[in-house]
A and B are shown apart, each in its own frame.
Chain A
């Protein structure tokens, strides 16, 4: 029975981590779906979100919600700017050129932050009262932070689903992702649609950054590197370009990672993500929810 409680506790932790991966993965998958680019800078936008919230809490003395909204808005603007400055000129260039630019952008954000705030970790101030829901006589518990992560993630995913499925912008996004040229001929403004995609994806990453900062209480300029890559793996796992797939992939990644830490060796946690990636790419490159696409000549 004791074993079962521990397992249950790990599941709760895993879902929290998974929700964060899911939020980052959603942005990855949207951007990839629309311009077929692995936006390496996405993980660093998430880092910027954490830092904006940090400075907002520290210097503007605001609570959680204003900090979250401020971080999301800043990331939104940053995401659109990055797209306009670095990616737009390369829209018709080779994929490798765009990918290298994305890697460059990622390093630029990381090391500009290292330059200004230093590479050391900072403690994120506590903005939430410590609440703890206990089950089974305290053997299994959910903290207030975890409940907050679940809540914010669910709200944002539902909101995203609404935007993509019900609004005109969402319709344009799906059209551009499906066939850019045809969408253009139908009068869809490609530039605006791509900007909107970057805006939404970056805002989600910013929210994930704030949640992670609260969850682990520590932030640093290089914090976006590994979660960024893992979120990409999550997006591929669920089927890249598919929004529910990214959420599913994120949850699976979070659970697997937590279980590896709990029952295996914590030093292997980063390797597991990439082992999953290599396996999925070999077995079913289109991902869990993806359908096979035949190559056109």
Chain B
């Protein structure tokens, strides 16, 4: 009964209502014909961006493990789910899920040996892993090789993408606000100290890596089931950087920051679509300037929350919620 009461607290109800309102508003605009199919692309890309950024934040922002191979997990999810749907004829929500599971398995496989590495070595090793995945896909005839894998039916729509995104954010948020999440954050703050406190460092690093990889795989699966297909080059190093920029901009260690940054950067991309060169120059400058002047990202490790607004109204200094 108390659990029920906590689940239906005023805060949770407010957030749920807001989420449903966003969904209903966009859905209504689609139904009314204000937004057309070519707008839908941007909304789906935004949802994928949020999934990728939040899952990367779990690994890099909260657990402090800098990885540059997130697009590799995305590629695994995208290709495996596509193979299941198209070649084996599996019902597509199951293949989406399996795409995520395979990516998670790779997360464990890659995570166990490489997580012994620290900082920059880990970054380079994960970068290498992402590239190896890409080259292997490039050389696999079964999934189309260099010309890519096409002919996947468009089974994802706004409703699917939105609710998978909401599930991803809620799962990662709840994981981080549990004792598991606190262990992850303590590893980021000081690995040696948390080991002394009896935290199994390897276990929690691999956990973060696996969960992050699972959702990255899911993001990839959504991608392949929306865009009819993909090439190995779709998931290159640049893709990993795109999502890293979202995490860095939003704040390493802030879920709402990642969500906001993913939405904002997707919108900026739409505006700058014709000028892709300038977009990359801007991205580069953004990374450098943020790192020099605000290395913790725009939101830092703060979260945007109902409490924050309430405190702002009372004129209090808004404290960090959750971590730090």
- A-side residues, CB < 8 A to B, are 36-38, 86, 89-90, 93-101, 103-108, 110-112, 114-115, 225, 229, 232-233, 236, 265, 267-268, 270-271, 273-275, 277-278, 281-282, 285, 297
Q: Which of B95-103, B129-137, B151-159, B200-208 contacts A (4 or more CB under 8 A)?
A: B129-137
The secondary-structure label for the interface of chain B is helix
Instruction: Tell me if B93 counts as interface (CB < 8 A to partner A).
Output: no
* Additional A-B contacts beyond A232-B124, A267-B146 (15; CB < 8 A): A86-B288, A95-B66, A99-B66, A103-B287, A108-B281, A111-B284, A114-B277, A236-B121, A267-B135, A271-B136, A274-B132, A277-B124, A277-B128, A281-B117, A281-B121
Q: How far apart sit A106 and B66, CA to CA, in the bound complex (Å)?
A: 18
Chain A hits for B135, CB < 8 A: 267-268, 270-271
Tally the A-B contacts, defined by beta carbons under 8 Å. Answer: 120
Out of B120, B146, B291, which one reaches A104, CB within 8 Å? B291
| A99-B123, A271-B132 known; A105 vs B277 contact (CB < 8 Å) | no
Chain A hits for B33, CB < 8 A: none
Out of B117, B244, B295, which one reaches A90, CB within 8 Å? B295
Judging by beta carbons under 8 Å apart, are B139 and A229 in contact? no
Chain A hits for B119, CB < 8 A: 95-96, 99
The 16 sampled A-B contact pairs (Cβ below 8 Å) are A36-B120, A86-B288, A90-B291, A106-B284, A107-B287, A111-B281, A111-B284, A233-B128, A265-B139, A274-B127, A274-B128, A274-B132, A277-B125, A278-B125, A278-B129, A281-B121
Q: How far apart sit A100 and B66, CA to CA, in the bound complex (Å)?
A: 10
Instruction: Tell me if B32 counts as interface (CB < 8 A to partner A).
Output: no
Q: A-facing mask of B230-248, CB < 8 A → 1, else 0?
A: 0000000100010010001
How many Å from the CB of B166 to the closest CB on chain A? 29
How many Å from the CB of A207 to the closest CB on chain B? 24
Q: How far apart sit A271 and B130, CA to CA, in the bound complex (Å)?
A: 10
- B-side residues, CB < 8 A to A, are 60, 64, 66, 113-114, 116-117, 119-121, 123-125, 127-129, 131-132, 135-136, 138-139, 146, 192, 237, 241, 244, 248, 252, 277-278, 280-281, 283-288, 291-292, 295
How many Å from the CB of B102 to the closest CB on chain A? 19
Q: How far apart sit A282 and B115, CA to CA, in the bound complex (Å)?
A: 10
Q: How far apart sit A115 and B284, CA to CA, in the bound complex (Å)?
A: 13
Chain A hits for B286, CB < 8 A: 104
Judging by beta carbons under 8 Å apart, are A275 and B192 in contact? no
Q: How far apart sit A51 and B139, CA to CA, in the bound complex (Å)?
A: 32
Out of A107, A275, A282, which one reaches B280, CB within 8 Å? A107
Question: Closest 3 A-B residue pairs measured CB to CB?
Answer: A104-B287, A274-B128, A271-B135
Chain B hits for A37, CB < 8 A: 120
Nearest A residue to B65, CB-CB: A96
Judging by beta carbons under 8 Å apart, are A111 and B280 in contact? yes
Q: How far apart sit A99 and B244, CA to CA, in the bound complex (Å)?
A: 12
Judging by beta carbons under 8 Å apart, are B131 and A104 in contact? no
Chain B hits for A281, CB < 8 A: 114, 117, 121, 124-125
Nearest B residue to A269, CB-CB: B135
| A267-B139, A274-B131, A281-B125 known; A99 vs B284 contact (CB < 8 Å) | no
Most buried by B among A96, A236, A271: A96
Chain A hits for B284, CB < 8 A: 104-108, 111
| A86-B292, A107-B241, A278-B125 known; A96 vs B280 contact (CB < 8 Å) | no
Q: How far apart sit A229 and B131, CA to CA, in the bound complex (Å)?
A: 11
Judging by beta carbons under 8 Å apart, are A104 and B288 in contact? yes
Q: How far apart sit A112 and B284, CA to CA, in the bound complex (Å)?
A: 10
Nearest A residue to B121, CB-CB: A281
Q: How far apart sit A37 and B120, CA to CA, in the bound complex (Å)?
A: 8
Judging by beta carbons under 8 Å apart, are A274 and B285 in contact? no
Judging by beta carbons under 8 Å apart, are A115 and B278 in contact? yes
Q: How far apart sit A99 and B122, CA to CA, in the bound complex (Å)?
A: 12
Chain A hits for B64, CB < 8 A: 96
